A and B are shown apart, each in its own frame.
Chain A
Amino acid sequence: MDKHFAARRRRDLIIAAVLAALAALAPLFVKNVYIQNIMVLTLMYAALSQSWNILSGYCGQISLGHALYFGIGAYTTELLFTKFGVLPWFGMLAGGGIAAVIAMGLGYPFFRLRGHYFVIATIVIAEIGLLLFQNWEWAGAAMGITIPVRGDSWLKFQFMRSKLPYFYFALALCCLAWFVTWWLEDSKWGFWWRAVKDNPEAAESLGVVVFNSKMGAAAVSAFLVAVGGAFYAQFLAYIDPESVMGFQFSLLMALPAVLGGIGTLWGPVLGAAILIPMTELTRSYIGGSGRGVDLIVYGTLIVLISLALPQGLVSLLSRSKARGATR
């Protein structure tokens, strides 16, 4: 059993390296800016979903308030940049740090809650954050912040002419989130989290410090999501509370992981690779008329996929593999 596990982990790492290399080469063949844009978003959502998965999938603490950390990452970066001239790279780390500290501060009271009470608390706290930012004059209130154009440079992480630098950063972030998950899966933390998810009482009695392991998961998850938020802000060059902290974001972050397979290593990547292009394509080909047909198609697909594959798309792969093995 142990040998299988080690072999599977080595195989996962190789597959990931190959996929990352292929993705890195993709811009050589794809010159269309619209499609490049979709690829950036896909990678970003894969990274976000992977980070969300650490707390909600592995550790089983379903959060529908991760938009809070996303928004904190975006706002910290842009406030530091526009008000104090701090480079986005430092802002990104600062945002991640602040988000991680807030996640732990919130975790202290929140992790006593169970089930729906916990989920609603996460929604509510993100909503409070949204309302506060909408009313915070210094931070642009509901109007948001427009990031001043200072010319293309890696130093300021700002590129007007090409989307490629954003693409590579999103790819790197996605790889980082994947690698962190991969690494944690086999660590003491990874085993603790799964134990906490399956049966917190039993885990506690076996010496797992349930509370601390939830805190660890929350901090890692929030940090990565906030870095994603910082990236998104630089990518759009404009942020406002609703577009980086809205409830929709919390759901959009969770959706790829759920469709791909919650609590699995490959679920978020797989889910994002299918869901995000689908979303963008329905929006641009059917939507635009403002008549909501894109919403109908999109919603129907979500309903059908979640009903047909409750354990996510990953379950399809492992099922066919299991069948192959018995043959």
Chain B
Amino acid sequence: MGLLYGLIAVGLALIFGLMDVTNFAHGEFLMIAMYASFFLFTFFAIDPLLSAPLVAAAMFVFGAIVYLLIVRFAMRAKANAGMVQIFTTFGLAIVMRGLAQLFFTPDYRSIPQSWLAGKTISVAGIFLPEPQLVGALVSIAAFAGLYFFIHRTDFGRALEATREDPGAVALVGIDKNRVFAFGWGLGAALVGLAGAIMAVFFYIYPDVGASFALIAYVTVALGGFGSVFGAFAGGIIVGLVEAVTALMLPPSLKSVGIYAVYLLVVFIRPRGLFGSM
């Protein structure tokens, strides 16, 4: 479960953590990705596992468009840019939820039969549900990929430089909007991947994003802004804490443990575990 939180958080780690843009619609990105893989399955019988790359590609385009149409202008605000970002993306989230209700109805849906559903695999005598296992593997791969991307490629350097000083970056001929549109696309593609995998074993409904979004923010902040590895570690910690809390407290209180650990960590380390900002 922790690695799944990590997978949801990795896209946010890129947008929120590395580009320092608040995205309150992250949960809704997840929601539409889940719907996308649901419909690909229902109408074309494509298994979520196969459609995951398709969903991710579609989400990439969607994320880039959202940046170019909306977020670009929100970042231009000179005064209280933070609040403008919060409320434009919050408004976007409301619109997306409304659209989902309108077109997909508020019904709970699920993907009944997929290759992985209900199967378990036995590793050294421990039974593990396959969907979660695949989710965990994809999550690790996504983090490794992002880490490599940020630290080893020109694009990663351009991204960090753009966040640090957009003016100076323009002087060396980097188009800020292109870099950030690409970053948003990538962030959305990652959450698209998460959505496709989660569609296998979670109910899909218009408000599904909200329940995961807050945990994703906490995961990113727990690990520390500006650190890909931090978000990965944050995801694992969140998963472990949730499992431990669920053993000690009633299930409805399981998130309390996660929140308490976040508070504890930032009181001791105000910049998260591995944060640089």
Whether B179 sits at the interface, judged by CB under 8 Å, is no
CB distance from B265 to the nearest CB of A (A): 10
Also in contact, A124 and B84, with CB within 8 A (given A293-B98, A296-B99)? no
A299:B77 contact, CB within 8 angstroms: no
Interface-facing stretch out of A68-76, A109-117, A162-170, A183-191: A109-117
A299:B80 contact, CB within 8 angstroms: no
Q: Which residue of B lies closest to A108 (CB)?
A: B267
B102:A292 contact, CB within 8 angstroms: yes
Also in contact, A262 and B83, with CB within 8 A (given A120-B218, A295-B94, A306-B74)? yes
Q: Which of B78, B94, B255 has the most CB of A within 10 A?
A: B94
A121:B266 contact, CB within 8 angstroms: yes
Contacts of A109 in B (CB 8 A): 263, 267
A292:B98 contact, CB within 8 angstroms: yes
Also in contact, A112 and B267, with CB within 8 A (given A262-B83, A291-B102, A296-B99)? yes
Also in contact, A135 and B206, with CB within 8 A (given A299-B92, A310-B79)? no
Also in contact, A292 and B87, with CB within 8 A (given A117-B221, A117-B271, A120-B218)? no
Number of A-B contacts (CB under 8 A): 136
Partner of A127 from B78, B79, B214, B267 at Cβ < 8 Å? B214
Q: Is the interface of B mostly helix, strand, loop or mixed?
A: helix
Partner of B87 from A120, A134, A258 at Cβ < 8 Å? A258
Q: Which residue of B lies closest to A257 (CB)?
A: B83
Contacts of A35 in B (CB 8 A): none
Contacts of B256 in A (CB 8 A): 128, 131-132
Partner of A306 from B84, B93, B218, B221 at Cβ < 8 Å? B84
Which residues of B, 60-99, contact A by the 8 Å Cβ criterion? Answer: 70, 73-74, 77-84, 86-88, 90-99
Whether A15 sits at the interface, judged by CB under 8 Å, is no
Q: Is the interface of A mostly helix, strand, loop or mixed?
A: helix
Contacts of B271 in A (CB 8 A): 117
Also in contact, A292 and B262, with CB within 8 A (given A117-B221, A306-B88)? no
Q: Which residue of A lies closest to B254 (CB)?
A: A131
Give complex CA distance A306, B86 in Å. 9
Give complex CA distance A292, B205 in Å. 13
B263:A310 contact, CB within 8 angstroms: no
CB distance from B86 to the nearest CB of A (A): 8
CB distance from A61 to the nearest CB of B (A): 12
Contacts of A101 in B (CB 8 A): none
Partner of B91 from A132, A247, A293, A302 at Cβ < 8 Å? A302
Interface residues of B (CB under 8 A from A): 16, 22, 70, 73-74, 77-84, 86-88, 90-102, 105-106, 206, 214, 217-218, 221, 225, 250, 252-253, 255-256, 259-260, 262-263, 266-267, 270-272
Q: Which 5 A-B residue pairs are closest in the complex by CB-CB distance?
A: A295-B98, A292-B101, A299-B94, A302-B91, A310-B77
